[in-house]
Amino acid sequence: LSENVKVLEPVVEKEGYLLKAKIADGGKKLRKNWSTSWIVLTSRKMEFYKESKQPALANLKPGYKPECVDLCGAHIEWTPEKSSRKNVFQITTVSGNEFLLQSDIDFLILDWFHAIKNAIDRLPKE
């Protein structure tokens, strides 16, 4: 059974730590609050974990759900004007959620930007 379950899980394309700030929820602006997040990218969504660098472990905690971002129809763009930090880009979902992601490490943030952009470009727009 455990093997069957594993096959149904989407393939993880990329995972790692970035700084994250959610700045809008359903179109409603939120107060910016940066925090470190463990991010898991699959072909059509991103998951933000705050409690563990091992999502499998976090999943075992009853009631724990990572924040989930549907990439279908989402937009991604560099947004230097939205922060005093360097290397900031924004993901905007169809549902009006806005997330800023940041890392001081240039190659790391570039890798993430291109991985997410590629995932979005492969998906249907709605």
- Of 34, 67, 115, 123, the one binding ligand I3P by CB under 6 A: 34
The reply on whether position 32 binds ligand I3P by CB under 6 A is yes
- What whole-number distance in Å separates Cα of residue 23 and Cα of residue 90? 9
Q: Which residue, 64 or 113, is less far from ligand I3P as judged by CB?
A: 113
Closest CA to 91 of 41, 36, 17, 16: 41
- DSSP string of 16-34, one letter each residue: EEEEEEEEEETTEE-----
> CB of residue 103 vs ligand I3P: minimum separation in angstroms?
13
Judge contact between 88 and 66, C-beta under 8 A: no
Judge contact between 96 and 23, C-beta under 8 A: no
- Of 83, 111, 115, 117, the one binding ligand I3P by CB under 6 A: 83
Q: Which residue is nearest to ligand I3P (CB)?
A: 83
The reply on whether position 31 binds ligand I3P by CB under 6 A is yes
Name the 3-class secondary structure at 67: strand
The reply on whether position 84 binds ligand I3P by CB under 6 A is yes
Which residues of the chain form contacts with ligand I3P (CB under 6 A)?
Answer: 31-32, 34, 83-85
